[in-house]
């Protein structure tokens, strides 16, 4: 018998984990800080606290890139340390991992290898498509729904998924997430005010103002560096500037939604117009996003009550339910038995 079962949602900026034995969900930043090129200095939230602040000899690394594992060894070390971090990490456990759909089989298998070949000594590793876990986390009847569109807004990607009758109809992974929105804000503030702000500050502005705000003439004073004098100072950034910065990445997302709907079979598309669009992922908290998507598509849009942990909530349900557990599978049972 497995010592425990973990559900893993490995995001570009945050790891979310369901621990069956404790029946709890926890999350921590998906970051590792490396000192002098070799020494692991900090992991998780501690490492993220050093982002854009660390001295030159400490490199803050994000092992995930655009939804897939880009630094395998760092990711493996990070995961092992986070599971040990006061959480009674148990070897010989089972794992259910949420993976993006629109990636190569090699990239998908890396999620599997991350655990199966680690010091975790995993008893069993199963994977489930992230959009399927999202749908379960939303409380949707995956097998019975005639058509639903889920848009997962993540840190570096946006995953668009059309589901119907228990299966994936269409899926597209956009390399466009929170970092792209924040970079757009950094660029426009620099161009408009000759003022350099960090990504942390851009994130604060995005979360504060979002797409729409009920406040007239809203603005926020932020710290940065004047590019003319080179001196640190504070400047007031208006809501209208943030909205202008977000315009292009939001339009790219809406175009992708329309393109996906255009390729969707008529009966499924009709069901989507009836059932609506569902928003998940940490970026879904952005003020006004739900309203913007609904107006841009003409389809009723709603946001998960806990969009940032919707996937891991789905993993929890899959792990607990004998029927839903059939949605997960082992890559060893598919095309990779020879890898054993």
CA angle 299, 303, 309 (to 5 degrees): 145
Question: Nearest 5°: phi and psi at 125?
Answer: -130, 120
Enumerate residues 6+ apart whose C-beta is below 8 A from 148: 135, 140, 162, 163, 164, 271, 272, 275, 276, 278
Residue 177 contacts residue 282 (beta carbons within 8 Å): no
Angstrom distance (rounded) from CA 113 to CA 68: 13
Instruction: Give the torsion sign (CA, 185, 238, 286, 222).
Output: positive
Separation of alpha carbons 101 and 128, rounded Å: 9
**pTM for this entry:** 0.89
Cα dihedral sign, 229-232-235-241 = positive
pLDDT at residue 336, as a whole number: 43
Which residues does residue 224 pair with via DSSP β-bridges, in sequence order? Answer: 233
For 204, other C-beta atoms within 10 Å of its C-beta total 17
Three-state secondary structure readout of 26-59? EEEECCEEEECCCEEEEEHHHHHCCCCCCCCCEE
Angle between helices 178-193 and 199-209 (to 10 degrees): 100
Give strand ranges (E) for 200-288.
219-226, 232-238, 277-280
Domains of the chain: 5-133+310-339 (3.30.420.40), 141-303 (3.30.420.40)
Strand-pair category, 277-280 with 24-29: unpaired
Tokens at 301, concatenated: 């849009």
245/222 Cα distance (integer angstroms): 16
How does pLDDT run along the chain (340 residues), one tens digit per residue? Answer: 568 899 999 988 899 999 999 999 999 999 999 888 888 888 888 888 888 788 889 998 888 888 888 888 888 888 877 777 655 566 778 899 999 888 888 888 888 888 887 666 778 889 999 999 999 999 999 888 899 999 999 999 999 999 998 788 999 999 999 999 999 999 999 999 999 999 989 999 999 998 876 666 789 999 999 999 999 999 999 999 999 999 999 999 999 999 999 999 999 999 999 999 999 999 999 999 999 999 999 999 999 999 999 999 999 999 999 999 999 988 776 444 433 3
Phi, psi of 140 (to 5 degrees): -80, 150
């Amino acid at each position: 018998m497995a010592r425990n079962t973990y559900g893993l949602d490995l995001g570009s900026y945050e790891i979310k984990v369901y621990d069956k034995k404790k029946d709890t969900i926890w999350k921590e930043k998906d970051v590792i800080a490396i000192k002098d090129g070799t020494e692991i200095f900090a992991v998780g939230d501690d490492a993220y606290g050093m982002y854009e602040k660390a001295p030159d000899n400490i490199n803050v690394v994000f092992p995930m890139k655009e939804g897939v594992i880009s630094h395998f060894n760092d990711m493996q070390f990070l995961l092992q340390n986070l599971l040990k971090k006061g959480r009674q990490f148990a070897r010989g456990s089972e794992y259910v991992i949420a993976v993006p759909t629109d990636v190569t089989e090699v990239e998908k298998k890396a999620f599997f290898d991350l655990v199966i070949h680690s010091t975790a000594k995993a008893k069993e590793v199963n994977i489930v498509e992230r959009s399927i876990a999202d749908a379960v986390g939303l409380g949707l009847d995956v097998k019975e729904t005639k058509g639903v569109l889920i848009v997962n807004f993540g840190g570096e990607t946006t995953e668009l998924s059309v589901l119907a009758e228990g299966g994936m109809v269409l899926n597209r992974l956009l390399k466009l997430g929170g970092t792209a929105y924040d970079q757009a804000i950094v660029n426009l503030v620099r161009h408009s005010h000759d003022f350099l702000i960090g990504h942390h500050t851009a994130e604060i502005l995005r979360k504060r103002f979002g797409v729409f705000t009920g406040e007239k003439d809203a603005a926020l004073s932020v710290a940065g560096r004047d590019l003319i004098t080179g001196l640190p100072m504070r400047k007031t950034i208006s809501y209208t500037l943030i909205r202008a910065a977000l315009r292009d990445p939001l339009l790219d997302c809406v175009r992708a939604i329309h393109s996906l709907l255009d390729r969707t079979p008529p009966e499924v598309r009709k069901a989507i117009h009836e059932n609506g669009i569902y928003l998940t992922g940490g970026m879904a908290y952005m003020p006004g996003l739900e309203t913007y998507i609904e107006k841009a598509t003409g389809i009723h849009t709603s946001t998960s009550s806990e969009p940032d942990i919707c996937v891991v909530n789905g993993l929890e349900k899959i792990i607990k339910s004998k029927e839903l557990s059939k949605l997960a599978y082992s890559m060893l049972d598919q095309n990779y038995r020879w890898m054993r």
